[in-house]
Structure formats: C-alpha cells, structure tokens
Amino acid sequence: MIAIVCHGTASLIGVPATALASSEAASITVFAFATAAIFYALFGYPLLLGWLARRANNPVRKDDKLRTVSLIICVYNGEKFLARKLQTILDLNYPRELIEILVVSDGSTDGTDEVARTFQSEGVKLLRVPHGGKPEALNVAVPQTSGEIIVFTDVRQTLDPDCLRNLIANFGDPKVGAVSAELRVVSEQTHEEFYTDLYWRYELWIRKQMMRIDSSFGCSGAFYGLLRHLWKPFPPNLLLDDAYLPLTAFFRGYRVVYEPTAKIFDFPTTLDSEFERKVRRQAGLYQLLKFLPELFSSRNRMRLHFLSGKYGRVVVPYCLILMALATFGLPPYWRAAATIAQVAFYGLAALDAILPANFPLKRLTSPFRTFVVLMACSLFGVKVFFVPPKSLWKETTVRLTES
C-alpha cells in the first residue's frame, strides 16, 4: 500500500519513484559523508591523536648548556610595543654576552627606528630594510647574525624571564631542529576573546600530542628557535614563515617540538582581527601545497597527522556546505530535523554578533560564532590564488590592558 501511494504521488508530480528514491539515497550518502568527515576532523582525530600520544615514548633529551643566540625582532610600525619588548629581552635569565639582539625595521614609518636606537648602548642592533614583508626582511637579516641558535620573535609579546633558557635546553637533543614557545593571553577576557583563545589552546594541545609521537608541523611565530645550520631563505611571497622553516628542518630528519615552560604573553585579540590572521594562515596552508609538496608523500613520516590535523580542518567548511546542499534532498522528516538544527546553529552565531560584549547569553552564542568565523577563514583562504599574497598581511588588533 505504501509503495503504491508513493509511486502514485511521484507520478503525479512527474518524478518516477525510483528516481526519487535514488535522489534521496544520494543526498543521504553525501550528508552522512560530510557529517562523518566533520566529526573525524573535530573529534575523531583528536581522540586518536591523544590515544597514540599516550602510548608514545619519545621524550626530548634536554641539557643545561648555554648556547649563543641571535634573537631577531622583525617589526613594522611597532613603536608602541618595541621598548617594552626589548626590556623583557634584556631582563631574560640568560647570560647577556651570549645574546645577540637585532631589530629589523621592515620599512617602518613611525618611531620604531628611534626606539631601537635608544637601546644601542645595551648592544641592540638596528637593521632597516625596505618594506617587503616579514619573510623578505628575515632573508636579509639572518645572514648578518652569528649565534648558534636563531630565535625569531615578534614585537608585541613579552617574555617570561626563563623563557629563552627553557627553550634553548631542548637543543640538547641532537634530533631537535626547531623549538616553539607557549603563547598565553594576559588579563581577563570577554566571551569572544575567551573562545578565540580557547581555539589557540586547542592548537597547542595538538602540537604537544604530536611532539610526544615525533614532531609537530610548525612553531608559534611570536617566539621560536632554529639551529643555524638549518636556516633556509624563504621563497618569495611566503605567508607562513613559522611553518615553512620548521618543516624544512623536519624534512631533513629533525624534530619540531613545543616547550610549555617557555612562556610568552600577549594581549587578547578581537574576533575580527583573528579572522584576518586565520585567513592568512589558511591561505598559507594552501601555499604549502606549492612550496612543500612532499608533505603528501612518503617522505612525510607524520603524513597521517598532517592530513588529519591540518588539512582535515581545512575541509570542514566545505563539508558544512555539502551538508546544507544535501539537506534539500533528504526524506521529509530528516530534512526538517537537519534544517532546524542548521538554522539554530547559524542563528546563534548571527545573534552573538549583535549582543553586547559581556551579555550573559554570549556564554552560549560565542562558541557558535567563533566556530563559524574560524571555519569561514578556510573559505576565504583560497584568495591566495587570486590576489597578491602580501595583501593578506593585516595588522593584528589587540585590546591593550595593564598586565
């Protein structure tokens, strides 16, 4: 009886029952595949990674040797942060005679150069280069330094006094080629800032688990160290210097590790500013397909983790789009449930954008908006194929606080 009714209804609207069933089956398949891919990228792989990491036994063999360090600050118009940053460097618990400090002014038009010159009596050197972006500035700066370890740092973050010593200790392991510090956000945060920072802490957790297995795939550009002999000039228009350089070390057989006791501190970033930064980073991941195609080859001894941990999240927004399109072809009851769920999800994200900063309901809505914004970054990241890569560099906006 049911089959007869369905066949009759389909015939009345000019669609054969077999074609309708086939269309629904295809929609269910696409919807299920997209859902499974999202679940694996966001939940399944982290669970697998944690399980594998707990069973790994690959510690870093640290030592107390004090090595010579070339600390390079690449800065563009960082006048309001530079003096503070240089003072935290001078206050490091590390022999001053072993630290070479170089400020690279990337064509700054504010008072950056003047601030750097006021520290010349402390041994701080200033190198001014035409404005061309961070990678190009570093290509000029690194050959002019001499330390056994090159440490790259940005201008905005401040350093814990033991940061450098704890970072350098990792180079006691001959298998370690690059080491990343841990970035922490200072001061009380708004709901929006909290969930943005939560995503960053999730990234750090991923790096820590990968390191226990073997190696992570990048460093925090705000502060990381590299063995000098592993330095390799950056290719033109590169967006992710803090991924490219560690990865070149990785493919030479070295480990890229993360040191949680090497702490640096930053101000909270707004979600709008984080969006611009994540668009650049996602665009940089697309770029790596060109610069480091061996990431997908057998040369990558962590290929499963790279594809799952990095590009797994890149495909999530495309899967969300597939889910939305497949919803139209689902059987009626499934279609209604899927539509309600998606409208509620995106509706909460949209509502968060108009709520006041500390409105109580934002505890519920902010996670949804943060997720949607960060996933949208992957979609916008494809701009790297259509616009000059340098146009994706934007100044990060932070909420300055007393710390």
pLDDT in tens, 116-138: 999 999 999 999 999 988 899 99
Whether this prediction's pTM lies above 0.85 is answered by no
| Cβ atoms within 10 Å, residue 80 | 14
Asked if the model's pLDDT at residue 394 lies above 80, the reply is no
Angle at 77 between CA 271 and CA 248, to 5 degrees: 75
Report which of 382, 396, 390 is spatially closest to residue 287, judged by C-alpha positions. Answer: 382
Please state, in angstroms and rounded to a whole number, the distance separating the CA atoms of residues 275 and 366: 14
Place of tokens 């059987």: 331
Alpha helices by DSSP H, listed for 170-240, are 191-213
Query: Which pLDDT tens digit goes with each residue over 18-72?
Result: 766 788 889 999 999 999 999 999 999 999 999 999 998 889 999 999 999 999 9
Burial class of residue 204 (count of CB atoms within 10 Å of its CB; 0-12, 13-18, 19+): middle
Please state, in angstroms and rounded to a whole number, the distance separating the CA atoms of residues 305 and 297: 13
Q: Are the C-beta atoms of 127 and 58 separated by less than 8 Å? A: no
Average pLDDT rounded to a whole number, residues 240-265? 94
**153 has which bridge partners?**
73, 223
Place of tokens 């330094």: 145
Asked if the model's pLDDT at residue 11 lies above 80, the reply is no
Pairing between β-strand 223-227 and β-strand 176-185 as defined by DSSP bridges:
antiparallel
Please state, in angstroms and rounded to a whole number, the distance separating the CA atoms of residues 152 and 240: 13
DSSP letter assigned to residue 214 = S
Average pLDDT rounded to a whole number, residues 299-310? 89
Count the alpha carbons within 13 Å of 81 in the hemisphere toward its beta carbon. 23
Average pLDDT over the chain, rounded to an integer: 86
What is the CATH number assigned to the segment(s) 69-269?
3.90.550.10
Highest mean pLDDT among 17-31, 87-101, 279-293, 356-370: 87-101
Asked if the model's pLDDT at residue 284 lies above 70, the reply is yes
Please state, in angstroms and rounded to a whole number, the distance separating the CA atoms of residues 295 and 303: 7
Which residues have a Cβ under 8 Å from the Cβ of 107 and sit 6 or more positions away? 76, 128, 129, 130, 131, 132
In which element (H, E) is residue 235 found? none
Residues of the chain with CATH 3.90.550.10: 69-269
Average pLDDT rounded to a whole number, residues 174-202? 76
Q: Where are the beta strands (DSSP E) in 83-219?
A: 99-106, 124-129, 149-153, 158-159, 176-185
Pairing between β-strand 223-227 and β-strand 99-106 as defined by DSSP bridges:
unpaired
| CA atoms 343, 345, 348, 353: torsion sign | negative
Q: Are the C-beta atoms of 77 and 107 separated by less than 8 Å? A: no
pLDDT for the residue numbered 396: 58
Place of tokens 């705000």: 222
Report which of 277, 278, 286 is spatially closest to residue 237, judged by C-alpha positions. Answer: 286
Region for residue 187 given its phi and psi (left: phi exceeds 0; alpha: psi -120 to 50; beta: otherwise)? left
How far from each other are the two terminal CA atoms of the chain, in whole angstroms?
Answer: 73
Place of tokens 């495909």: 315
Please state, in angstroms and rounded to a whole number, the distance separating the CA atoms of residues 106 and 342: 45
Q: Are the C-beta atoms of 264 and 158 separated by less than 8 Å? A: yes
**CA R_g for the chain:** 25
